[in-house]
Amino acid sequence: AAERTSLFIFFGGTGDLAYRKLYPSMFNLYKKGTLREHFGVIGTSREKLTDEQFQQNVLKSLGTAKTDKEAVKFVSHFGYEAHDVTDKAHYQVMKKRADEMDKKFKLNGNRIFYLSLAPSFFGTVAGYLKSEGLTDTDGFDRVVIEKPFGRDFDSAQQLNEALSKSFDEKQIFRIDHYLGKEMIQNIEAVRFGNTLVESLWNNRYIDNIQVTLSEKLGVEERASYYDNSGALRDMVQNHIMQIVSLLAMEQPVSFTDVDIRAEKVKALRSLRVYNVAEASTNFVRGQYGPGDNQRAYRDEDNVPHDSNNDTFVAGKLLFDNYRWSGTPFYIRTGKMLADKFTRVDVVFKKPLIDIFSFPQNHNAPLEANVLTMYIEPHAGFSLRLNAKTNGQGFQTKPINLDYFVDAKDSKATPEPYERLIHDVMKGDGTNFSSWQEVSYAWRFVDQIRKVWDLQKPEFPNYTPGSMGPAAADELITRDHRQWVYRL
């Protein structure tokens, strides 16, 4: 890959995300040559560290031997600046440091400000970066924003207005790390690269589409954050809405960020925003109770004993457009479920006439074709077809055409953060959420939230290790359908 040039300033540079994901991803880019001579990093947080201490911490986070020559060279591009983001005067010190780095590594004034901080600081930092002149360079200035982007439409809009005072939409990169996943990007390849798929990709041939993001773990150390968020905000508003819009959108005019975003936004605009009655019937929430060797959510550390927070959501989404009218998208996500995986199941309509299942033939009715996209942990596809069983007579049975990314390729798959950081350096916003996408997603989710806030749930309502509450199954069986993945 061609070498890219930039200074990175990581705010929240001593945080969990920075050490666990961001620096190792940068190192991968270094090993591949995307970063080489002309990059510099300033880590910043309130902690007091010397450059050497910070470099040692970064080195440790890379998981290589301390003497690994490449790693040692890599961290020599790192500096540290203790900085309270609310301290306006101190941005001058940062600016000086940034200018020095720029000169030392010949960075052409290109700057990426990565805000791996509590969202309440996003506006403050963006404001001071501009007012104190850190964005005053000849090169590009880009800001990367971690999730969550607001907790409802209003707060997201305020946040966006604050950011917009300093940065244009083109300069803002809102991270949704699902968009950095190989198989999520494959949705577009499979849809728009295959006549076989795209010609059937509509309500005439598709009965329903199911998206499942299933987590096996509970809240772990993130309880205090999670209890103020819940599955609807934490997973549906961002990741699920992004996946659904890629599945539902029309073919983009070209494969560029501007054109892809335009289609995703159009899809989200035709998503039906529910009224109270629709939200109550089309969405189900859950919270896990106790299980074998597992505490109930309400008994977890840092969770109030009367918490009504949702650790599970299932819902039915309806697009009011020509392509999808009558074909629902069912979604679900939750913690403490049977297994950890993400998958999309596209269920086709059955043949209108089943000529094989006449009484003398004792043949089971034909099954629907299903295209499954396995996103993680194993990446691949499976297409279920009906075929003839071997032997006398004429019986049919479903068979699967499977393709899985092999172990070697999956080891070579870039980490989502690696890909996303690379995209920011290229200035390619394809795999980030635009403000319009974020805002339409919040408008949809807010309606569900509002209805939920008025009703007291009967929690807990599912057992760890299950696939959520019974109501999540009823949501789909009442439409005479079933979850393709079920226990």
Burial class (CB in 10 A: 0-12, 13-18, 19+), 203: middle
| Among the listed residues 153, 224, 245, the one whose alpha carbon sits nearest the alpha carbon of residue 450 | 153
Candidates 5, 14, 135, 212: give the one binding ligand NAD (CB under 6 A).
Answer: 14
- The residue count for binding ligand NAD (CB under 6 A) is 20
16 part of the interface to ligand NAD, by CB under 6 A: yes
**Secondary structure (3-state) at 103:** helix
**Least Å from the CB of residue 482 to ligand NAD:** 33
Element (H, E) at 123: helix 122-131
φ, ψ of residue 129 to 5 degrees: the values are -55, -40
End-to-end CA distance of the chain: 44
Of 194 and 302, nearer to ligand NAD (C-beta) is: 302
Residue with smaller CB distance to ligand NAD, 248 or 438: 438
Q: Residue 14: helix, strand or coil by DSSP?
A: coil
26 φ/ψ angles, rounded to the nearest 5 degrees: -60, -40
Please tell me the distance from the alpha carbon of residue 71 to that of residue 58, in angstroms, as a whole number: 9
Output b/e per residue, 386-415; b: 16+ Cβ within 10 A. Answer: beeeeeeeeebeeeeeeeebeeeeeeeebb
User: Where in 281-300 is the site for ligand NAD (CB under 6 A)?
Assistant: none
What is the DSSP track for 417-456? HHHHHHHHHHT--TTEE-HHHHHHHHHHHHHHHHHHHHS-
Which one, 221 or 479, has the nearer CB to ligand NAD? 221
Binding flag, residue 116, ligand NAD (CB under 6 A): yes
Q: What are phi and psi of 458, to 5 degrees?
A: -95, 85
Residues labelled catalytic: 239
Answer yes or no whether residue 117 interacts with ligand NAD by CB under 6 A: yes
223 binds ligand NAD (CB under 6 A): no
Backbone φ and ψ of 59, nearest 5° = -55, -45
Which residue stretch of 8-16, 24-32, 313-321, 408-416 sits at the interface with ligand NAD (rule: CB under 6 A)?
8-16
Q: Which residue has the tokens 């598709």?
A: 206
User: Residue 288 CA to chain centroid, in angstroms?
Assistant: 23
Under rule CB under 6 A, residue 150 binds ligand NAD: no
Cα distance between residue 114 and residue 111, in whole Å: 10
Q: What is the DSSP letter of 28?
A: H
Piece in contact with ligand NAD (CB under 6 A), picked from 81-89, 161-169, 414-422, 475-483: 81-89
Residue span binding ligand NAD (CB under 6 A) among the ranges 30-38, 115-123, 315-323, 370-378: 115-123
**238 near ligand NAD (CB under 6 A):** no
CB of 481 to ligand NAD, least distance (A): 33
Q: Would you say 260 and 464 are in contact if contact means Cβ atoms under 8 Å apart?
A: no
**Residue numbers 31-60 binding ligand NAD by CB under 6 A:** 45-47
Residue among 119, 127, 398, 427 that touches ligand NAD (CB under 6 A): 119
The correct pick among 8, 12, 264, 476 for binding ligand NAD (CB under 6 A) is 12
- 424-483: contacts with ligand NAD (CB under 6 A): none
Q: Is 218 in the site for ligand NAD (CB under 6 A)?
A: no
The span of 84-92, 130-138, 208-216, 475-483 binding ligand NAD (CB under 6 A) equals 84-92
Q: Which of 53, 76, 86, 389 binds ligand NAD (CB under 6 A)?
A: 86
59 vs 125 by CB, closer to ligand NAD: 125
Asked if 147 touches ligand NAD (CB under 6 A), the answer is yes
Q: How far is the CB of 44 from ligand NAD (least distance, A)?
A: 7
Q: Among residues 18 and 267, whose Cβ is nearest to ligand NAD?
A: 18
Residue 230 near ligand NAD by CB under 6 A:
no
Please check whether residue 162 is in contact with residue 225, taking contact to mean a CB–CB distance below 8 angstroms: no
Q: Closest Cα partner for 263 from 283, 240, 275, 247?
A: 247
Interaction between residue 88 and ligand NAD (CB under 6 A): no
Q: Is 229 in the site for ligand NAD (CB under 6 A)?
A: no
**3-state SS class at 149:** coil
Residues at the contact surface with ligand NAD, assessed by CB under 6 A: 12-18, 45-47, 83-86, 116-119, 146-147
